[in-house]
Structure 1
Amino acid sequence: MYGKIKELNTLRNQIFIGFLLVMLVIIAVSGAFVYNRVSFLLKNNAERHIQQTAVQANGRLDALIDQIDSLTEQVANHPTVQQLLTEELNGKSVSFNQRQSLLQIVSSYQAYMPSVGSLELYTADYRLLFPIKEGSLGTRISNPYITEANTQKGRLVWIGVDPNDDGSLLAIRQVSLMDRWFSRGGYLIARIQRSYFQLDDPLSGSDGGESVLLVNDEGQLLGGSEEPKPELLPLLASEDQTVSFQDKEYVQVKLRSDKTNWTLLVLTPVSYVTKGISILRTVLLVSGGIGTLLFLLLSFVLSTMITRPIIHLIRAMRKSRLGVLTPNSESVSTMELRELNYTYNGMIANMNDLIRVVYEKEVLQSRTELKALQAQINPHFLFNTLEAFNWSLEEKGEEELAGLVVIMSRLFRYIIGNSSSDEWVTLGEEMEQVKRYLKIMEMRMGDRLSWNIQLELPEAAVPVPKLLIQPIVENAILHGVEGRVGNGAVSVIVTPSTREGWTRISIQDDGPGMDSDTLKSLYVALEGGPSISSKGTGIGLVNVQRRLKLYYRAEGTEMEGMRIESNRSEGTVITFEIPNDGGHTYESGQ
């Protein structure tokens, strides 16, 4: 099975499959893009058409409302109506004949607009003045509509479905008396047939077009016939563009009428909006299939043309395994493959010459490595020699010098130790190294040097890079103790940091210190600037600073490096903090 798979894993098959996959991806992406864009355009066109229909329906609704508003305004401003309401307001009782005269006036206006079923006129104290019967405005409509009519001061207020007649809608306006400074003289109620607001056949669904509905805030259908209508309140509450209604999916557009506070709903079946997308999908699938077949054939032909010369070149290479490398004599027409064949033949010509050169270089390299191996110095030879000095001094009674030799031996062994395995030590081991160094310097400087090391047991187990503290101590002696007149002191203090999980290390001396300019120059040197030291190499503090930021660079560990405080005649204090866990670098063993 594996052998068959290996035989199929050829360059021609890879090119063929690669081209095919690329073409499939291109066809799929381009088809999806075209489908999405065209679908988007079709939907946008349908949505613009729906929006235009909604705007037109809203315009028709406003025109119908303006007609009712104009009619009721003319009736309210009629001189006879104004006179009768003024007399009622003055306390004069209107006679039967005067009330009868209103019938001719109302009939004349209704003749121009048959959709107005009736007009009702009430006095300011809510008594029915016309038609000629007993009645009260308070029992006809609810008080909030009367209050709203008073607030609007003569503007038409739409109430909705007539409580006494489901086939009619009510509107009320306050009658303002023009001779009494437009004070409230009464109320005029207009009863309009619901068919007057029939903007479209609601929810017919027979032609697949839009359905235009007029709905109030209670979800009642206001336009149309008197037949019972479905509950439309869920459509008003929904904010989705696509809604489900009567087991069908619709795209809805809602417009709010400022004149009536009613909502105009335009419902369009989703099938009408997406009409044509199925045809587009079929066209894209057919064209994608034809394109894939054509590209399949072209990919096979192209992959064969590319790989045939390579196969001849492989055969020539296989012949070279049996002995001396031989060039490929097969002619190639393609420029790139011809250049490859020419390069291969040139390489074959050079490789035979290089075999001899490589052999000679290997012989010379072996001799050089042997001489370098003989010239190497074994660090153990130095340790054994120091041990021999120690035994010799002890036999002669020079115990102090013998102790100094032991300290130097341990000092060298600590420094020259295996860097790969002893790169990290504990603070306790590092402090032992600092003590050995201070003892040697004490032997050299005598009473001029005094030193102190403070280290508690918990901090002694904190891991640190080897030789991290000794260069700072060496710098304190070189520039601090030796730079002053008289005796000097160096202190190394290790304490817990104020940050949890960190340890604070301070090295201080009582030397001459530095002024502010020198301190600034030192900080510049620590960041890679020029050295300011006039003694030694001047790289001790820079080395420590770089190692601090190198070793403690783990994620979540903030390493600021060394902080230096120094004043003239007060000495210098160098402080830095390290994490107790050694940081990510130590944990990973890097």
Structure 2
Amino acid sequence: MGKLHGKKGHFNSLRNQIFIGFVMVMLVVLLLAGISAYDRVAALLKSNAEKHIHQTAVQASGRLDALIAQVNSLTAQVADDSYVQRLLSDEKQGNPATFNQRQALLQIAGSYQSFINGAQSMEIYTTGYNRIFPMDDRSLDLRVERNWISLADEGKGRLVWAGADPEDPGVLLAIRRINLLDHSFEHGGYVVVRMQRSFFQLNDSNGTDGSQDSIMLLDGAGEVVTSDLEINLDPKAILDSGSVVQNGEESYIVVRQKSELTGWTLAVLTPLRETTEGVSILRTALLVSGMIGVVLFLIMSFFLSTMITRPLIRLMRAMRSAQPGAMRPNLMVSSTMEINELNNVYNQMVYRQNELTRVVHEKEVMQSRAELKALQSQINPHFLFNTLEAFYWSLEEKGDEEMARMVVAMSRLFRYIISSSQQDEWVTIADELEHAERYLQIMQMRLGDRMQWEIQLSDTVRTVAIPKLLIQPLVENAILHGIESKLGPGKISVHVNASTEENLVRIEVRDDGPGMDESRLQSVIHALHGGPAVSNKGTGVGLINVHRRLELYFGSQLGERCRLSITSKVREGTVIYFEIPMGTEGAYDS
């Protein structure tokens, strides 16, 4: 490899092969890309323009529907107004409205018109086409053509747009039949609303983003409702032509959107030149960028081939010199990311290998020290038990039976706690309750009549395996915060039985002490989950220790249910309980 790298003029060197290969691939790619790009760019630009125009049409159509919905809501509110309904009902029954009654409609119409800026005015007619508002007694059939009235009747309350107002071309008319709600929706009259054409100005972004899109709104008869197009185009040509409309030398792409609510047609027109003006610019950009790319690629290929081969040779030399147990990193920094990463991976492997060698050595040393400490620790409990036995026999000889029983209980208590964790980490529930009972006996010697206690154990769960020292800390907590904090005598109850759910054991420790209010109870629960301790008696380490051990032992099986649960009421006491699964014997042996 060194000879190949040294002979730079040879074709079979790695650097020359990379250089020639890169140049050939680049030329082929540029040639194919240049041929296909120019053919497809026009279609792509046109497609993008059509998508943009279609999006504009959809947005404008949405705004149109929203405006129509406003007018529809306005006329519906007027038609359903209780005063209008009552007035038209009286008219239908032959009781003409008085002047004051018709005058009152002015305030009602004004209040509704204020909700829509484009509402010019409103008119209300009876079933006989007589106008009761405004008060000029004009007939409806003289106001709009009869075919629009017929359409309103057929719509049975649907809003019908009747085109331009004959009296004012800048205003559009919409008519709705009024149904009497209290008379089985009988025909009661008509409401006509006059809307300004400017209300339907839909292009609210023209010119802000450089777009030249124009919007033309045509009614069902082909008449222009509103338009922001600067030139005059025949509306029929827009409705009948294809996707392109020709106007002299200018051509426009047209996208149409028809409103289902009104039957109006929304046309978005964009000059065709906008879709093709970027083709010549793109052609020039392709040629210039292609030439620059060829020059840069030739230069970069030359340097890249050199950068690849040189660090590879250095890395190969470092790998050949590596020896097991005495590996050295390759202190090389390459300007090529991939090669630098490869070198970093090799160095990490070297560091990891050396670290593993050091860790294995330290573990061997630590294991030897642990074995020595284990041998020494066996002497300390043996000495403690022998000393307590000597106290017991001494008290027996002196006749102090109560103290002798306490010493025996303490001896068994310590023997249970200090016994080998490898052999007795798991015990039966019966053994754990026996240990709790010995602790209660010792505490009763101190508290006397102030404390009573009971232990209830179901026979079905006596042999269920449980981690050592899960129940006694709960009993200790009940005495400390329940019995000792109570003025009178108190009672500790320990109940262990099968849970109502299959294959679970419920363990409950209850006291009738002073209890806790809700805020203090939440503080205790917060402390169990990692918050600060809140007890002014002790540190709460016992409860936190039990809670943490339950999570470690049974968290994967029970999830949230394996944690300690606490309930408490002021002056009634506190209950702490948890559940463990049956059949765990040997499941955690290690």
TM-score normalised according to structure 1 size: 0.42
Bigger CA radius of gyration? 1
TM-score normalised according to structure 2 size: 0.42
